[in-house]
Amino acid sequence: MLTVIARIEAKKDKVELVKEELLRLIEPTRKEKGCIQYDLHQDNVNPEFFTYYENWETRELWQDHMKTDHLVRYMKIAEDVVASFVVNELTKIG
């Protein structure tokens, strides 16, 4: 299993747009082959910070997710409204 933590920082004047677009990804992603968990969180103190906590059956299936139409569409929108985007791929060790 692969765990992915994706951290997204919206530009301060684009928080609501980024939130709407991130929420749009949830339903189609949860239907994808290999998706075990796909949860979006928003920071309680700094609302421009979002985190996806994801679990996938395999890295290959997560890579397939990265090529889906809905994610490609989001990435194009994000170019202008996201200040930073960091992805960590994790393996449980304990």
- DSSP labels, 35-61: EEEEEEEE-SS-TTEEEEEEEES-HHH
How many domains would you assign to the chain? 1
Whether 74 is covered by a domain: the verdict is yes
Per-residue tens of pLDDT for the chain, all 94 residues? 999 999 999 999 999 999 999 999 999 999 999 999 999 999 999 999 999 999 999 999 999 999 999 999 999 999 999 999 999 999 999 9
CATH code for position 23: 3.30.70.100
Q: What is the pTM of this model?
A: 0.92
**What helix, strand, coil percent values describe the chain, rounded to 5?**
40, 35, 20
Q: Where in the sequence is the domain holding 47, given as residue range(s)?
A: 2-6+13-82
Whether 34 is covered by a domain: the verdict is yes
Kindly state the DSSP code that residue 32 receives in the 8-state scheme.
Answer: S
